[in-house]
């Protein structure tokens, strides 16, 4: 039996994951954290109002005997306060990973978002990066409602952040059970999302 912690439990994916874990026999309890309490119906679910940047997150997970973490707390829709966004996305993730390391968490859920487009069959259009970056940056600074993202998103899309697991493999002997593509495929099939073949 596992005790699963979900950061970003109030988001869409967090709520869907909670619904799935409610039905999973191997999941004993779900420890959900977010800054907004989700409306979920689960006898296994316990909610804690915790920001992922809070250094006391480790205490919660230690007290609840968490052995699995699914990290879903991110600012997905960019905001104009780029320092706050960086603090949540980068420093918050660092806090989560440091807590996982300190507590010797055995299972951490990671999916590469860069593979989503290929699996769901989205078409792409090749636009020179310099042109796109300039246009997006200008529209962002002018606060034109068509663009809800800073120009930095161009680099985020062009060079997706990927977790390098080599150190975990070498030092801890960790091996992923599934590739990120397999994980994403399982998740999408579970939710009856039509995949491109």
Instruction: Give pLDDT tens digits along the chain (197 positions).
Output: 889 999 989 887 788 888 888 888 889 999 999 998 888 889 999 999 999 999 999 999 999 999 988 888 877 666 777 788 888 888 888 888 889 889 988 777 654 444 444 444 545 445 566 665 666 666 666 665 555 556 565 565 555 555 667 777 888 787 878 776 777 677 667 655 555 54
Q: How many helices (H) and strands (E) does the chain have?
A: 9, 5
| Cα 184 from Cα 24, distance rounded (Å) | 18
| Cα 33 from Cα 46, distance rounded (Å) | 9
Per the prediction, the chain carries an average pLDDT of 76
- 104: nearest Cα among 161, 59, 66, 142: 66
Query: Is 2-109 assigned to CATH 3.40.50.720?
Result: yes
| pTM strictly above 0.85 | no
- 61: nearest Cα among 24, 6, 21, 1: 6
- 48: nearest Cα among 14, 79, 19, 82: 14
DSSP state of 114: G
pLDDT at residue 164, rounded to an integer: 65
pLDDT at residue 161, rounded to an integer: 53
Residue 2: its H or E element: strand 2-7
Contact by Cβ (8 Å): 11, 34: yes
């Amino acid at each position: 039996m596992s005790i699963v912690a979900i950061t970003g439990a109030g988001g869409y994916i967090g709520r869907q994951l909670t619904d799935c874990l409610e039905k999973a026999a191997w999941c004993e309890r779900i420890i959900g954290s977010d800054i907004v309490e989700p409306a979920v119906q689960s006898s296994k679910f316990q909610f804690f109002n915790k920001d992922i940047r809070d250094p006391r997150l480790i205490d919660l997970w230690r007290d609840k005997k968490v052995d699995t973490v699914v990290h879903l707390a991110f600012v997905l829709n960019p905001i104009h306060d780029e320092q706050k966004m960086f603090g949540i996305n980068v420093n918050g993730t660092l806090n989560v990973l440091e807590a996982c390391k300190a507590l010797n968490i055995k299972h951490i859920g990671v999916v590469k978002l860069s593979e989503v487009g290929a699996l769901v069959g989205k078409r792409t259009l090749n636009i020179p990066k310099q042109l796109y970056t300039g246009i997006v940056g200008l529209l962002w600074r002018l606060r034109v409602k068509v663009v809800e993202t800073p120009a930095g998103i161009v680099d985020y899309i062009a060079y997706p952040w990927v977790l390098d697991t080599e150190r975990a493999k070498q030092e801890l002997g960790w091996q992923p059970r599934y590739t990120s593509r397999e994980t994403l495929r399982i998740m999408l099939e579970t939710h009856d999302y039509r995949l491109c073949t």
